[in-house]
Structure 1
């Protein structure tokens, strides 16, 4: 249901931000020269387009991107208010965004053009690894909401990493204020134990499902999580990884 990356996920990783124009230019040029595929997400949409960098022109401050053979998809890209991009270069994950995209041509063929981003995020695998939590028997978090908002309430998780979690708030109880803190939260990790931590909302994404119901996904960062609690999280991630690998091996 959810893409591996989200438009506002850039917010999660400000510590890994690259703001040097020379470095950004070099990274984008390297991505283009190695013909790395780039996943492009239109804000508010679930489907992901695949593109690649055709050229990076520092004289006009422009990045030229391949467009789709699907004309409807191209129209949605051009009409979008914001685009998120994810790719990798030498096993390093690269995230950036664009507020505006133009239709143009490159070497006689249709293309997209965006401005060279003023910043991008560069992540080593160990810094961003997250794993989806079970859907059928979801891991739950108890958030001590005040009485006027319903009192302590449990919510299912969508994924977990050593940096935080994604919460599914399908009843829209938590709001979507970026930067909002929730203290005294408790996550029950099956067969591992209970994790107590504070959370800060770092991003929010609303998705409309096929039945017209809306799902809200809140990306939350652990705040001052104790080292012992973080060890529980790491053990749980390792366990999920083992189970997933065992399932994959069983399918072969």
Structure 2
């Protein structure tokens, strides 16, 4: 069965599709073992929640993920015909779907149980390789935003970064999320590299409910007319993050 995901559009997904149960279990266990957060979406992606994989039962072919903060949201997920998941694992975008979700108790807390996905989409695009930025010390992107008093510079926390663009969190819903909207004269202070300037263009947005119950908006932005010097700086930072991530995984740091 081919997975249809709301963010993939009409792209041919078959070259990236994984149907081997062994591989699917390995991918899902990777999310669990590395405590990697993942987006859980319903209603075609219009409603999204941050969750994590709690357990995989390969004997009963079930997947258990963390529930949402409210019973109302859990009921909407249960009622959804399909639930989509989208996350990053070892620099690869992982997407899958399931259905027939039900609420269970896992280690004394509410959780969501569903059948294991029959297939998984694994996307690794070198030109768009993105990596999560540190949560403990988030990078800030300064974007000039039009408000009633005129144009003001606001800071937004980065979620991830690639050579093609960034994803930011807009808690205050200040950004115009119309696809194609451009924001010139943006700045980003990259640790160890310094301040870089760029122009950003809105590509997508998504409302998210975090594990603590708070809501935010995740916005995907593409770099426009990035200079070769700035691109090189972004590449250096991505390599730095990758080295640090690998060091933590191997216990060196």
Q: TM-score, normalised by structure 2?
A: 0.61
Distance 1:235 1:135, change over 3 A: same
Q: What is the CA–CA distance in structure 2 between the aligned matches of 1:247 and 1:122, rounded to whole Å?
A: 24
Aligned partner of 1:36 in structure 2 is 24
Distance 1:81 1:205, change over 3 A: farther
Aligned partner of 2:8 in structure 1 is 10
Counterpart contact for 2:85–2:97, Cα < 8 Å: yes
* Corresponding residue SS for 2:239: helix
Q: CA deviation at 1:121?
A: 7.4
Distance 1:86 1:205, change over 3 A: closer
Q: CA deviation at 1:18?
A: 1.3
Deviations 1:128-156 (Å, cap 9, x if unpaired)?
43222223332111111235265121212
Distance 1:142 1:18, change over 3 A: same
Q: What is the CA–CA distance in structure 1 between the aligned matches of 2:215 and 2:207, rounded to whole Å?
A: 7
Counterpart contact for 2:51–2:211, Cα < 8 Å: no
Aligned partner of 2:79 in structure 1 is 79
Q: What is the CA–CA distance in structure 1 between the aligned matches of 2:224 and 2:234, rounded to whole Å?
A: 14
Aligned residues: 210
Aligned partner of 2:247 in structure 1 is 246
Q: Does 1:47 align with 2:51?
A: yes
Aligned partner of 1:206 in structure 2 is 207
Q: Does 1:217 align with 2:211?
A: no
Q: What is the CA–CA distance in structure 2 between the aligned matches of 1:9 and 1:238, rounded to whole Å?
A: 27
Q: CA deviation at 1:41?
A: 3.1
Q: What is the CA–CA distance in structure 2 between the aligned matches of 1:213 and 1:111, rounded to whole Å?
A: 28
Within 5 Å, which residues of 2 pair with 1:140-179?
140-148=140-148, 151-179=152-180
Counterpart contact for 2:142–2:156, Cα < 8 Å: yes
Q: What is the CA–CA distance in structure 2 between the aligned matches of 1:69 and 1:138, rounded to whole Å?
A: 29
Distance 1:199 1:82, change over 3 A: farther
Q: What is the CA–CA distance in structure 2 between the aligned matches of 1:112 and 1:245, rounded to whole Å?
A: 29
Q: Does 1:130 align with 2:130?
A: yes
Q: What is the CA–CA distance in structure 2 between the aligned matches of 1:35 and 1:248, rounded to whole Å?
A: 21
Q: TM-score, normalised by structure 1?
A: 0.61
Q: Does 1:196 align with 2:197?
A: yes
Farther-moved stretch of structure 1 (241-250 vs 230-239): 241-250
Distance 1:82 1:153, change over 3 A: farther
Counterpart contact for 2:96–2:117, Cα < 8 Å: no
